[in-house]
Amino acid sequence: MAKQGLWADGRLRAAYAAQDWPLVFRRYRALSGLSQNRLGRLVGLTQAYVSRIESGRPPQAADVIARIVEGLEVPEELGGSQSAAKRDDWAPAAELRERMAHASRTGRADMGTADWISTVLAQYRRAEDDVRGPALWPVVRAQLDTVTELLPKATANQADRLLLLAAEHAHWLSWVAWQEGRRGPALAWLDLAAGCATDGGHVDMASWVGRVRAYYTLEHGDPLRSLRTADAARFSSAPLSPAAAAAAAYQTGLAAAAVSERDRARRLADEAREFAEQVPDEADRPDWLYWLTPARADLQVADIAFACRDWAAAAEGFRQALPGLVGYPRDHAYYQARMEDARRRI
């Protein structure tokens, strides 16, 4: 695998963001198949020095670190991840919004960089069961800086594409902040994602951001507001793709069940599954809905049955769909617990 391809790995990038050199070396060698001796030649160190680093004694000298960074060809967008926004800086910075306000001027942006960052973000989504979001926070935050720095140089079409990529990053940061209990910053990032999606004309992403806001509101204990927000996410000035429509219908169904509109919730569950069945192939879904497989669609129907207190239907639905969650241990554990809870309540 080429060096640049190795750096698409979420755990490797997280280790670099934390400056965890022992883990960087071990992970790099696991991905590349290099011996300690060959890795040493790559970075200008002896095999004994590589072994010492992997044993837990990281390098301290700036020149050694510089050789390692150069030899491993650390991507440019990671170079500033240590000096860029840290996890303590949870909310979007003013200069980030300023760059977005000056999008779409004359000139040419380096869209190759944007393509690379898009590929890496897709890897992060799939690594969430193995790498917790806070570990990747400085990396994703630095990537968002790189994306927004391209905006003033972009043509109109390029800017639209970059705004979608910025919205995806901002949504990811919002989700991590919410999971860490940082509700204010989470909503600020979500507002930023909504603005990018709207400015770029990306109706699927705008709907998805609305769906996530409805989820936050429902989780925070306000089902009426969640239902209004979820309903708004279902309708836009342009038709949604089937995958986006499925996600919006599912969230609306959960909110409807929470306000005791159970018949409506069941209808929305069926609607969500019908939309999801129209996109069985991952290539036909938006990047952030890569997980919306037929098995996931069945789990969502079971989840709405659970919210409607249809315990038998929920338990059976979870039982049938759970085998489709191979490779997602955290989600599997969540729905397994839901199934067991439903069975206790029958």
- For 9, half-sphere exposure in the C-beta direction (CA atoms, 13 angstrom radius) is 21
| The predicted structure's pLDDT at residue 240 | 93
pLDDT band at 114 (very low <50, low <70, confident <90, very high): confident
| Cα–Cα dist 259/87, whole Å | 36
- Cβ atoms of 203 and 240 within 8 Å: the answer is yes
| Cα–Cα dist 214/247, whole Å | 11
- 206 pLDDT exceeds 50? yes
pLDDT digits (tens, 9 = 90+) for 296-317: 999 999 999 999 999 999 999 9
- 166 pLDDT exceeds 50? yes
| Cα–Cα dist 242/271, whole Å | 10
- 83 pLDDT exceeds 60? no
Please work out, in degrees rounded to the nearest 5, the angle formed at the alpha carbon of residue 14 by the alpha carbons of 182 and 165. 70
- Cβ atoms of 210 and 167 within 8 Å: the answer is no
Q: How far is CA 172 from CA 133, 137, 204, 283, in A?
A: 9, 9, 16, 20
pLDDT band at 331 (very low <50, low <70, confident <90, very high): confident
3-state secondary structure of 269: helix
- 85 pLDDT exceeds 60? no
Report the range of poorest mean pLDDT among 54-68, 164-178, 202-216, 284-298.
Answer: 54-68
Mean pLDDT (the chain, rounded): 85
Can you count the helices (H) and strands (E) in the chain? 18, 0
Q: Which amino acid is at 262?
A: R
Six token digits for residue 145: 């800086």
| The predicted structure's pLDDT at residue 10 | 78
Report the range of poorest mean pLDDT among 47-56, 99-108, 128-137.
Answer: 99-108
| Cα–Cα dist 45/194, whole Å | 47
| Cα–Cα dist 339/269, whole Å | 17
- Cβ atoms of 144 and 169 within 8 Å: the answer is yes
The residue behind tokens 């409607």 is 308
Burial of 344 (0-12, 13-18, 19+ CB in 10 A): exposed
